[in-house]
Chains A and B, each alone.
Chain A
Amino acid sequence: MDAITVSGMTVVYDKQPALENVSFSIPEGSLTGVIGPNGAGKSTLIKAALQLIPVRSGTVEVFDQPYKNQKQLIGYVPQRSEVDWDFPTNALDIVLMGRYRQIGWFKRANNKDIKWARACLEKVGMEGFAKRQISQLSGGQQQRVFLARALAQDASIYFMDEPFAGVDAATEKAIIQLMKNWKRQGKTVLVVHHDLSTVEDYFDHVLLLNKRPVDCGPTQSVFTIDNLEKTYGGSIAFLQKTTPAGGR
């Protein structure tokens, strides 16, 4: 079964198309990397699929149902730079935001929610930082707080926007661990990624995107030099150096 099906998605910024008629589907339980050059619309694709930005046209289905009926199944890790880390609150509070649907309107987080949130912090190696003011965390630690918040949601499908951007080795390890755990639990994960050298290690599926989808499918058959050439245009000499798939 397909976890996500996007059909005919077009997004326009200031008359410039950011995405043109993008259609693809992601099988349930897959770990998919969204790959493409800068400005290819990778982050835009995630935001458009989650209806966080206005789209010109296109539909999104989640497990063959319209997206709007399935929102509760979706977890999201935005780019770290999209929020103000000077906001007056601590790490635990941010993670508790992930429990919003479970806590519900008008109610406050109870002990069970707090325990849950702490467990999520522990899973990303941040148990010692629960009460730490978020502005006093390093970039990698902030990213892990976002991971813990996504974990706290206990979603079936996770969207992650450049989670590896500017993080330390420990955080990178925590992210990989988390993605593998999610895969083992049968969850579907879609990750915007730009480091071509790690694509084959991290992802079993790849969506190659440059405003339009170039190809989408299992990494072995899609992550080829031909396809990368189509996606990245002329910069292929650089690609051959960094990509193990260069010979295929």
Chain B
Amino acid sequence: MNYTLWIILTGCLVGVTCGMSGVLLMLKKMSMIADAISHTVLLGIVGAFFVSQSLNGLPMLIGAAVVGLATAFFVESLHRSGIQSDAAIGVVFTSLFALGVVLISFIGDQVHLDTKHALMGEIAFVPWDTLQIKGESYGPVAVWMLGTVLVLNLILIAVFYKEIKISTFDPQYAKLIGVPVAFVHYLLMGMVSLSTVASFDSVGAILVVAMLIVPGATAYLLTDRFITLLLISGVVGILSAMIGYGAAVYWNVSIAGAMASATGLLFLAAFLFSPKHGWLMKKAKQRRLAANS
């Protein structure tokens, strides 16, 4: 497989993995926790580096999952103790992220991990960092990580589909009828953390938020069914990656930036032209109603 295809595949995997886990957060009205987790996983990555002395996939995934869950837990605890939830998110994510930034400076020149890279990512480097087993190269590490997280997410969504649905729609009722609501909540947080860290190298901490939130918001305008919402969200993620890559090559601009911009354009298109909830349809309907009365 050549360089271009690896990049497109990586982008598509980022799109579908983030799109499908992010939309679940959106339904819980917790989109901004994606913003928080996407930043605090930096601390998890740096922490994993201190422990394992490498930027290998597995310690990074574990570190990110731990810090991601801790973020969700701290936000929840602060909120319970009476602090507004948006303020709680702001406090937790800036402090943990800042700690990550400080710790990064200790790593210095040892490895390729700096603040700019962490924030923006660099998908163009992804194909060079390949998985090496006994001198053989098996494709980019990022693709393996994203693939693993995607499969894991899909399995968890399939297994806990019913539980996720009930506890998102009506958490109190879910608790009453025996759904493990807290478990499902942290399961979702874990999925988002893993998706974020797997996407980190490619698109960085800021743009990954676009991939987590925008495809879900776009899909929400296009369907009224839960399963379709998940699927469309994944597809929008993939389309964004493809369109973004095309645009980036054509205009010679940042690939990750173009991909994130593409999510915004797709959202705008859905916002205007969605057959059910689009702005144009609403206008047309209003005009019909006005004409009839």
Q: B-contacting residues of A (Cβ < 8 Å)?
A: 14, 47, 50-52, 71-72, 74, 76, 78, 82-84, 87-90, 93-94, 97-98, 100-101, 103, 105-106, 108, 133, 135, 149, 153
Contacts and interface: CB of A to CB of B under 8 A. Distances in A.
A83 B169 contact: yes
Contact of B173 (A90, A97, A101): A97
Given A52-B172, A78-B172, A88 B225 contact: yes
Nearest to B23: A88
Nearest to B224: A133
Interface in B165-181: 165-166, 168-170, 172-179
Interface in B217-233: 220, 223-226, 228-229
B162 interface: yes
Contacts of B162: 100, 103, 108
A100 B177 contact: yes
Contacts of A103: 162
B170 A98 contact: no
Given A14-B82, A88-B229, A97 B178 contact: no
B177 A89 contact: no
B159 interface: yes
B173 A76 contact: yes
Contacts of B224: 88-90, 133, 135
Given A14-B82, A135-B224, A71 B176 contact: yes
B243 interface: no
Given A83-B169, A87-B27, A74 B176 contact: yes
B225 A97 contact: no
Nearest to A53: B172
Contacts of A149: 173
Interface string B144-180: 0000000000000001011101101110111111110
Kindly list the 10 A-B residue pairs having the minimum CB-CB distance in the complex, ordered from nearest.
A133-B224, A52-B172, A100-B177, A83-B170, A87-B169, A88-B224, A97-B166, A88-B226, A88-B229, A76-B176
Contacts of A90: 224-225
A89 B230 CA distance: 12
9 contacts: A84-B29, A88-B220, A88-B226, A89-B169, A90-B224, A97-B165, A100-B166, A133-B224, A149-B173
Interface string B28-45: 010000000000000000
B72 to A, nearest CB: 19
A242 to B, nearest CB: 32
Contacts of A76: 173, 176
A51 B225 CA distance: 31
Contacts of B170: 78, 82-83, 97
A192 to B, nearest CB: 15
A87 to B, nearest CB: 5
Contacts of A101: 177-178
B178 A50 contact: no
Contact of A153 (B163, B174, B177, B229): B177
A94 B170 CA distance: 10
**Residue of B166, B177, B224 with highest tally of chain A CB at under 10 A:** B177
Nearest to A50: B176
Given A14-B82, A89-B226, A84 B169 contact: yes
B178 A100 contact: yes
A87 B169 CA distance: 7
Given A88-B223, A88-B229, A52 B169 contact: no
Contacts of A88: 27, 220, 223-226, 228-229
A52 B170 CA distance: 12
A9 B176 CA distance: 19
A83 B168 CA distance: 9
Contacts of A97: 165-166, 169-170, 173-174, 177
A83 B165 CA distance: 13
Contacts of A87: 27, 168-169, 226
Given A50-B176, A89-B169, A97-B166, 17 more contacts: A52-B176, A74-B176, A76-B176, A78-B170, A78-B173, A87-B169, A88-B225, A88-B226, A90-B224, A93-B165, A97-B169, A97-B170, A100-B162, A100-B177, A100-B178, A106-B159, A135-B224
